[in-house]
């Protein structure tokens, strides 16, 4: 079945358009995907900070 044939069906076209809008909302700034990525980056930064702190402590203990 061709894309044009699928989109000629009003029900399918309506569903596709709703999914398209949900995808756009999720990926724009403040959307769910954007927030998930921001949270992931924040967690990585915290892990790196914690690791650097531990390295400093271990270095001081070994001196």
Q: How sure is the predictor about 5, in pLDDT bands with cuts at 50, 70 and 90?
A: confident
Please give the average per-residue pLDDT across 11-26, as a whole number.
Answer: 88
C-beta separation of 7 from 14 below 8 A: no
Closest by alpha carbon to 11, among 23, 21, 19, 22? 19
Count structural domains, the chain.
1
- pLDDT, average across residues 36-63: 94
User: How far apart are the C-alpha atoms of 34 and 36, rounded to whole Å?
Assistant: 5
* Rounded mean pLDDT, 32-37: 90
User: What is the value of pTM for the model shown?
Assistant: 0.58
Look up the domain containing 14 and give its range: 1-62
Confidence of residue 52 (pLDDT cuts 50, 70, 90): very high
Q: Give the rounded percent of residues in the chain with a pLDDT score beyond 70.
A: 97
């Amino acid at each position: 079945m061709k894309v044009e044939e699928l989109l000629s069906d009003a029900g399918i076209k309506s569903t596709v358009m709703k999914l398209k809008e949900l995808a756009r909302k999720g990926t724009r700034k403040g959307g769910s995907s954007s927030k998930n990525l921001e949270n992931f980056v924040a967690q990585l930064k915290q892990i790196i900070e914690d690791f650097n702190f531990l390295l400093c402590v271990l270095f001081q203990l070994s001196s």
